[in-house]
Amino acid sequence: MESLTGRLLVATPSLKDPNFERTVVLLVAHEEGGALGVVLNRATEVPVSEVLEGWAPLAGEPAVVFEGGPVQPEAAICLARTRTGVRRINGFNRVSGSVGTVDLSGDPDRLRDAVLSVRVFAGYAGWGPGQLEGEIDGGSWFVFDALPGDAFVNRPDDLWPMVLRRQGGITAAVSVFPPDPTLN
């Protein structure tokens, strides 16, 4: 299978795992050894300033830490969106287009002129070799192209239906699928 790095995994209504129900995951790595991504639509109430004070001025709204996934919740991953025309930044690993990961051990002041925004994630979503492909084949995930702003939306709770709606057709209708159809 070709690499899905930089693409979105959007949970289908059939995915009932509480870690991933109605989530949108940006894959930051996908190779033979497995895949790694961060959940884009699970904001916490913990301000970035409480855990990474120097990075807070670069954090976009909402300027909180996000639940990146169930793996290593004590670890932090930071995504950044670069400004137009910025080609190379120390400590920045491009995922797709203007979006990439940033080394949090670096000096955030060095990035101030190069990035539009950062988003900090506690933990990540991880899959072993072939596991993600099996979940996709089993109907747990839709795979869509990401837009540069997807990882930095101001209203992350709206991301799941927003991504589904922009696909059009029958997929757009999934955006209004009730969380529990038995209650209809």
- Distance between CA atoms of residues 1 and 135, nearest Å: 13
- Which CATH number do you get for residue 24? 3.40.1740.10
Instruction: Examine residue 118 and state whether it is found in any structural domain, yes or no.
Output: yes
Instruction: Examine residue 165 and state whether it is found in any structural domain, yes or no.
Output: yes
pLDDT, mean of residues 7-34: 96
Structure confidence at residue 84 (pLDDT): 84
Instruction: Examine residue 2 and state whether it is found in any structural domain, yes or no.
Output: no
Phi first, then psi: what are they for 51, rounded to 5°? -115, -30
pLDDT band at 87 (very low <50, low <70, confident <90, very high): confident
Tokens of 94: 């491009």
Structure confidence at residue 181 (pLDDT): 64
pLDDT band at 183 (very low <50, low <70, confident <90, very high): low
**Inter-residue contact 67 to 125 (CB < 8 Å):** no
Give the residue numbers spanning the domain of 142.
7-183
Tokens of 59: 């954090």
CA–CA distances in Å: residue 16 to residues 13, 20, 23, 157? 7, 7, 11, 17
Instruction: Examine residue 46 and state whether it is found in any structural domain, yes or no.
Output: yes
This prediction has a pTM of 0.94
Instruction: Examine residue 74 and state whether it is found in any structural domain, yes or no.
Output: yes
Instruction: Examine residue 105 and state whether it is found in any structural domain, yes or no.
Output: yes
Average pLDDT of the chain, as a whole number:
94
* Residue with the two structure tokens 């969380």: 179
- Distance between CA atoms of residues 87 and 65, nearest Å: 27
Instruction: Examine residue 144 and state whether it is found in any structural domain, yes or no.
Output: yes
Higher pLDDT, 8 or 2: 8
- Distance between CA atoms of residues 52 and 34, nearest Å: 29
Q: Which of 93-97, 114-118, 177-181 is the least confident region?
A: 177-181
Query: In DSSP terms, which residues pair with 47 in a beta bridge?
Result: 64
Q: How many domains does the chain have?
A: 1
Higher pLDDT, 157 or 181: 157
Instruction: Examine residue 113 and state whether it is found in any structural domain, yes or no.
Output: yes
Structure confidence at residue 140 (pLDDT): 97
pLDDT in tens, 37-86: 999 999 999 999 999 999 999 999 999 999 999 999 999 999 999 988 87
Structure confidence at residue 29 (pLDDT): 97
DSSP the chain: ----TTEEEEE-TT---TTTTT-EEEEEEEETTEEEEEESS-EEEEEHHHH-GGGGGGBPSS-EEEE--SEEEEEEEEEEEEPTT----TTEEEEETTEEEE-TTS-GGGTTTTEEEEEEEEEEEEE-TTHHHHHHHTTSEEEEEPPTTGGG-S-GGGHHHHHHHTT-HHHHHHTT--SSGGG-
